[in-house]
Amino acid sequence: MTVEFFDLAQRLYSAKTGAPVRQVAASLFSVKNEAIFVDADHGPKGKTVFTVMPRGGAPVTAPGSSVLRALAAAGAVMDGQREPAQLIAADGGVLAALERVARAAARDDSSDETVRSAAAVVGWWVDRSGYPGTNAVVSLLDHTRQRFITGAVPNRETHATYWRGVFGVSAGITGLAEWAAEISSGFGLPMLGSIREDDFYSYRAAVERFAKGFSWTHAEPAPIAAMGLRARCDTANLWEAALLSDRLWRHRAVHTGHVTGGEVISTTRTTFTITCPRMGSRLRAGSAVVGWMGGVDSYERATLFHGDVQTAEAHDGALQLTIARVPVDQRPGRSYWVTLMPAPPNDRIVRMGRARYRRLLFQGDSWIAAGKTPGVRRRDVPLDVLCAAAETE
CB neighbour burial string for 190-226, b if at least 16 within 10 angstroms, e if fewer: ebbebbbebbeebbeebbebbeeeeebeeeeeebeeb
Q: Write out 30-50 in H/E/C secondary structure.
A: CCCCCEEEEEEEECCCCCEEE
Question: Could you tell me what percent of the chain has a pLDDT over 70?
Answer: 94
State pTM to two decimals: 0.88
Helix (H) or strand (E) holding 106: helix 92-106
Number of alpha carbons in the 13 Å side-chain half-sphere of residue 331: 21
With a cut of 50, which residues of the chain have pLDDT below it?
Answer: none
Backbone angles phi, psi at 176, to 5 degrees: -60, -45
pLDDT tens column, 244-275: 999 999 999 999 999 999 999 999 999 999 99
Q: Determine the number of helices (DSSP H) and then strands (DSSP E) in the chain.
A: 13, 13
Give the model's pLDDT for residue 368. Answer: 60
Q: Could you give the domains of the chain?
A: 3-218 (no CATH), 247-342 (2.40.10.170)
Q: Are strands 35-42 and 86-89 parallel, antiparallel or unpaired?
A: parallel
**Partner residues linked to 322 by β-bridges:** 273, 311
Give the model's pLDDT for residue 124. Answer: 97
Q: Are strands 148-149 and 305-315 parallel, antiparallel or unpaired?
A: unpaired
Q: Are strands 48-54 and 337-342 parallel, antiparallel or unpaired?
A: unpaired
Give the model's pLDDT for residue 391. Answer: 64
pLDDT tens column, 169-206: 988 899 999 999 999 998 999 999 999 999 999 999 99
Radius of gyration of the chain (CA): 24
pLDDT tens column, 350-369: 989 888 888 877 776 665 65
Give the model's pLDDT for residue 248. Answer: 96
